[in-house]
Amino acid sequence: MAISSHLGQFYIDGAWVDPLPGATRLGVENPATEEIVGEVALGTEADADRAILAARAAFDGWTVVPVKERIALVKRILDVYTSRYEDFAQAMSTEMGAPIEWARGAQAWAGQVHIESTIKAAEEMTWEYMRGSTRIVHEGIGVCALITPWNWPMNQIACKVAPALIAGCTMVLKPSEIAPLSGLLFAEVCHEAGVPKGVFNLVNGMGPVVGARMSSHPEVDMVSFTGSTRAGTAIAAAAAPTVKRVAQELGGKSPNIILPSADIYEAVKAGVAGCFGNTGQSCDAPTRMFVPRARAEEAYAAAKEAADEVVIGPTTDAATTMGPLISKVQFDKVQRLIQAGIDEGARLICGGTGRPQGVNRGWYVQPTIFGEVTNEMTISREEIFGPVLSILPYDNLDQAVAMANDTPYGLAAYIAGPVEEAKPVARRLRAGTVNLNYPDWDTFAPFGGYKQSGNGREYAGWGIHDFCEIKGVVGWGG
């Protein structure tokens, strides 16, 4: 079943428990239909406290378990996850409005592939080694607070839980309260796989309550957060008095430079697909496309053609390629920003405000493309988090690079064109990941941002290192 039987409970110290007095409930909406599919419990600070204390009590025993045994546990988690793959796909299609084929082929797959990649990296990692007479040891940092978003639920849960477990950490997970179904299923998977009690805990709740308590609690050693830059700064401030490690994957406004020598038609169409994937709700989406000014009209025509190929419809339909936004709050934000683009004089190539034609319910928006955008416009500065693409013409490559870097964000960047021409441009872009010619997803590449897009790196071995302390035992060699 896609709906967990534990929707109103938390997973603490190896058991499903009811919330403590003071907890409230929140309806879980299917954004494609606006129907409430169930209610999730929202915990209090006291619920967070008991989960954190359970993790603290379990840490000393778990962190000394040999690495091979910790890897074996994560392999069991992978096996159970795979056996429930369709449940995860259905849950994410329901909770976030992902078209079912996207939920299967991208959302559920992301959780699976990241667990696989973390296992492989852990098996290849050198956990201890000698440097001179000193023994260098990688060991778990301690109790970790894991706070994950709604837009890629299993991607982010897997990218935090799997490396934290293998590193020897214990943890409390707070999934997004507006997309909690898949997180509860993941807790069921951990239980079935035999995770020792207290090692993995889950509490649902609001960020300013449960998230804030997790970030400030003196028994938490590290916070790993994925979400908005605004929330990330609040978490960093809450963590500062206890000098926790804080790893953050935050917002983005990723540039996509189409080189003058690129195949404009193919590069633009692929760029539109990248921007519109997941209904534009990806922090690393290529939302600012830079095209040679002399070929701007070709780019606009190719972009409109790509937008016209988007299929909007019921998320249960295999032909649907774009679902709704996650909520009315997000819908209203995207509408405001589309209107800002129109008001500030950008050229509307296609789309606009309002729902798509023939759609009267669900938080669906029109795939929207703006041309003749300048770097000062609101749609070029703010993270929209919807299927809205800004196309900015440039006169020369130096100008394109300067505009691409003129942002407070630095999560990802894209370049389309001959690889040898793209390589020197890649070195000039201030972003944690630079993608050349829309490559396949590399789950062994480091993922994280420069500037206000965060700090730390996730995926495979990079994620494991983020959850480790480095100890030097001096004199080990005699």
CATH class for the domain made up of 10-250+453-473: alpha beta
Is pLDDT above 50 for 73?
yes
Please check whether residue 69 is in contact with residue 80, taking contact to mean a CB–CB distance below 8 angstroms: no
What number of CA atoms fall less than 13 Å from residue 450's CA on the CB side?
Answer: 16
Q: For residue 1, what pLDDT is reported? A: 45
Rounded CA-CA distance 62/142 in Å is 10
What does the pLDDT look like over 280-295, one tens digit per residue?
A: 999 999 999 999 999 9
- Name the segment(s) of the chain with CATH classification 3.40.605.10: 10-250+453-473
Q: For residue 132, what pLDDT is reported? A: 96
Annotation marks residue 350 as catalytic: no
Q: For residue 97, what pLDDT is reported? A: 97
Instruction: Flag whether the pTM goes above 0.85.
Output: yes
Is pLDDT above 80 for 2?
no
pLDDT band at 380 (very low <50, low <70, confident <90, very high): very high
CATH superfamily assigned to domain 255-442? Aldehyde Dehydrogenase; Chain A, domain 2 (3.40.309.10)
Q: For residue 188, what pLDDT is reported? A: 98
What does the pLDDT look like over 461-472, one tens digit per residue?
A: 999 999 999 999
Q: Choose, from 144, 159, 283, 350, the residue flagged as catalytic.
A: 283
- Name the segment(s) of the chain with CATH classification 3.40.309.10: 255-442
Q: For residue 5, what pLDDT is reported? A: 85
How confident is the model over 216-221, as a mean pLDDT?
A: 98
* Rounded (10°) angle between helices 67-83 and 153-167: 160
Q: Choose, from 249, 275, 458, 468, the residue flagged as catalytic.
A: 249
Residues of the chain above pLDDT 70, percent: 100
Is pLDDT above 50 for 376?
yes
Annotation marks residue 297 as catalytic: no
pLDDT band at 84 (very low <50, low <70, confident <90, very high): very high
How confident is the model over 117-141, as a mean pLDDT?
A: 98
Q: How far is CA 45 from the centre of its chain?
A: 25
Mean confidence (pLDDT) of the chain: 97
Query: The tokens 């390589």 sit on which residue?
Result: 423
What does the pLDDT look like over 43-62, one tens digit per residue?
A: 999 999 999 999 999 999 99
What does the pLDDT look like over 163-206, one tens digit per residue?
A: 999 999 999 999 999 999 999 999 999 999 999 999 999 999 99
What does the pLDDT look like over 227-270, one tens digit per residue?
A: 999 999 999 999 999 999 999 999 999 999 999 999 999 999 99
